[in-house]
């Protein structure tokens, strides 16, 4: 959020899942970028491996979870991570 804003983290516990939502009030991600953001080697940066979000998604999927990103221009972005859990007694 280059022009400032707020960042919030919220969690929700379901019967067998936990969801974590990270929301910012930044400028949002344009739809043409959002459509490609989880693809390998896609980036808008000049440096980096271009694998960060794809690797994160693979790790979450390996744990039978889901990663979702929603964004609206000039309103912000929400990243949602949902993971299953088991209570060991």
| pLDDT averaged over 10-residue windows placed end to end, the chain, 89 residues | 87 95 93 84 75 86 95 93 86
Q: Where are the beta strands (DSSP E) in the chain?
A: 7-13, 17-24, 66-72, 76-84
Domain 7-84's class?
Answer: alpha beta
Q: What is the pLDDT of residue 84?
A: 96
Four-residue CA torsion sign, 36, 69, 5, 75: positive
Q: Sketch the domain layout of the chain as residue ranges.
A: 7-84
Q: What is the pLDDT of residue 63?
A: 95
Q: What is the pLDDT of residue 34?
A: 86
Question: pTM to 2 decimals?
Answer: 0.81
């Amino acid at each position: 959020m280059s022009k400032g804003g707020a960042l919030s983290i919220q969690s929700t516990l379901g019967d067998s899942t936990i969801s974590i939502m990270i929301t910012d009030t930044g400028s949002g991600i344009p739809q043409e970028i959002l459509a490609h953001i989880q693809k390998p080697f896609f980036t808008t940066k000049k440096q980096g491996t271009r694998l960060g979000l794809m690797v994160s998604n693979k790790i979450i999927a390996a744990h039978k979870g889901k990663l979702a990103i929603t964004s609206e221009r000039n309103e912000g972005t929400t990243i949602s991570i949902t993971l299953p859990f088991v209570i060991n007694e």
